[in-house]
Structure 1
Amino acid sequence: MSRKRPTIADLRAMKGKRQLTMLRVLTMDEAEAAERAGVDIVSVPPELVLNPQFRDAAPSLFTMPGDNFYEIGTADDFVRWAFRLYKASADAVYCSAGFATVKRLADDNIPVIGHVGLIPSRATWTGGFKAVGKTADSAMQIFEAVKQYEAAGAVGAEIEVVPVEVANAISERTSLIMLSMGAGTGCDAQYLFADDILGQNRGHMPRHSKVYRNFAAEYDRLQAERIAAFSEYVADVNSLAYPEDKHVVHMDPDQLGLFMEKIDAG
């Protein structure tokens, strides 16, 4: 039996009742795998949701395209960008721009997901890529940002690398759907990157990540096999082992004779 794609109202009704699952997926194959695995929410590159085949692959995934605010531009640019994605079947958009831009989108009835805690595009303001909210004052700044998102009309917020005690307290005190990336189970959804889950990330592995497969090793094996196959082909051509008779087409002898007469006569 096929699943129903959740609405904003559905996600709000589930708040506090069960943990939702969320993945950042980058390809159609990953989106289809998330659909078949029963994932609830996906964050995707904008171009993926704009692909006409996306909803065939992922009909029931609550889908949130996003990009860094500096890739999009002004509030007007954000509105045009968001409407294009919403028309293409996005369920919400991620926006890490200012609260005024969030409000502009929300005023036009675009569901918006904000971001608090460690925000990679603003990490310089909070001391780099490290936990945020470990002091009472910095924790209050996160809570105040959540309240500002509420006031701006956002429907949810990613909360990244924040102490679990802080994330729990904030989640209990907000109507926003809180998406935890390394912030514990007191939030409404657990959010990981498919690259990390599949072991495709060869760089730094965040504390909150969990590796379930080793695709990097499989890619290395496939690359070694690719090189070996190409090398065998080169060797076959050099030794005249390729092409064999089965790889070519022959002409009828009578027709060949006529052709040779014609070509020699010319």
Structure 2
Amino acid sequence: MAAYKRDGRKFAMLSVYDCPTARIAAAAGIETLLVGDSLAMTVLGHPDTVSVTTEEMLHHVKAVSRGAGTSMVVADMPFLSYQTSPRDAVLNAGRFMKEGRADAVKIECGRNAAPTVAAIHDAGIPIVAHIGLTPQSAGQLGGLKVQGKTVDTALKLIDDARAYQDAGAFAILMECVPAEIARLVSDALDVPTISYGAGPHCDCQGLVSSDVLGLFDAFLPKFSRRYAELATDIGKALSSYHADVVAGRFPATENCYGLPADILEELAVRLDERNGGRQ
């Protein structure tokens, strides 16, 4: 990632949750794959992200890692897997590296998160620091709202980003931050910045695959963009399948396995012999 920042080249991140999607994303050239805790909502049906567990996240990180190819896999650490202590953070981050085969981890950085970032970094684990809107602590932020809209909060974002860079974060992810502030943050850093709703001036743009593909319809964030409507296409396909089953059009001859005529003839003879033996 550092080379992209140094050379002024843009790159992409995509939040994915399974092996087939990871393979497709990697083949499409997506450089970084984030296994986001958004899967709590987009895959598992929870109302928010805080419900997902470390074990559930590990399950999906393993699947994505198997399909990622040369794309970097970043594991999103879920609520209370790192906030309790730097030691807990290191141990759980290590699980995502050892068991999940991730290349890096990400944590949402609230107040005084620099020691946790430093502990994970000092353990030899690459770490992305997430600032701006941090959904795991949205209650403390007044809800799912844009962050950095005042002078004081904008200055804090810049200071926090610098602190997390100095603590060892190799990239800073900003979510729901005004584009002008994100530009100031990006210009102030030596490490790459990743935008999830932080405008065009970051080094990397990230989106959630379920939004990109039109698979999640509960809401679409302002910063997102649909590139397909797969939920509609899937619905049509499943309706057609159901109609064919009900009407007897499926399975057709080409969907069935058959037997050679001589086997069928021998089977008929044997069945006749059995039936005759019972009489």
TM-score range, shorter chain: 0.7 to 0.9
Matching residue of 1:210: 225
Which of the pair has more CA radius of gyration? Answer: 1
Would you say 1:122 and 2:137 are equivalent positions?
yes
| Cα distance in 2 between the residues matched to 1:162 and 1:178 | 12
Matching residue of 1:229: 244
Mapping for residues 184-195 of structure 1, pairs under 5 Å: 184-195=199-210
Sequence identity (%): 29
The Cα offsets for residues 78-135 of structure 1, whole Å up to 9 and x where unpaired, read as 3233223323532210112633322221110111111111111111222211211111
> Which stretch of the first structure deviates more once superposed, 82-91 or 163-172?
82-91
Counterpart residue identity of residue 95, structure 1? I
> Which stretch of the first structure deviates more once superposed, 142-151 or 177-186?
142-151
| Cα distance in 2 between the residues matched to 1:261 and 1:206 | 73
2:89 to 78, 95, 105: 78
Contact 1:19 1:185 in 2 (8 A): no
Matching residue of 2:40: none
| Cα distance in 1 between the residues matched to 2:227 and 2:268 | 61
The Cα offsets for residues 118-167 of structure 1, whole Å up to 9 and x where unpaired, read as 11111122221121111101101211221221232211121011111111
Look up the SS of the partner of 2:194 in the other structure.
strand
- Deviation of residue 250 (structure 1)? 6.3
2:104 to 84, 92, 96: 92
1:60 to 43, 66, 70: 70
User: Unpaired runs of 5+ in structure 1?
Assistant: 1-10, 237-243
* Alignment size in residue pairs: 243
| Cα distance in 2 between the residues matched to 1:28 and 1:82 | 21
Contact 1:168 1:186 in 2 (8 A): yes
User: Unpaired runs of 5+ in structure 2?
Assistant: 36-56, 251-255
1:102 to 117, 128, 133: 117
TM-score (normalised: structure 2): 0.78
Would you say 1:23 and 2:14 are equivalent positions?
yes
> Which stretch of the first structure deviates more once superposed, 128-137 or 218-227?
218-227
Look up the SS of the partner of 2:108 in the other structure.
coil
Look up the SS of the partner of 2:205 in the other structure.
strand
TM-score (normalised: structure 1): 0.81
Contact 1:46 1:67 in 2 (8 A): no
Q: How much is the aligned-residue C-alpha RMSD, in angstroms? A: 2.6
Would you say 1:50 and 2:41 are equivalent positions?
no
1:175 to 181, 190, 213: 190
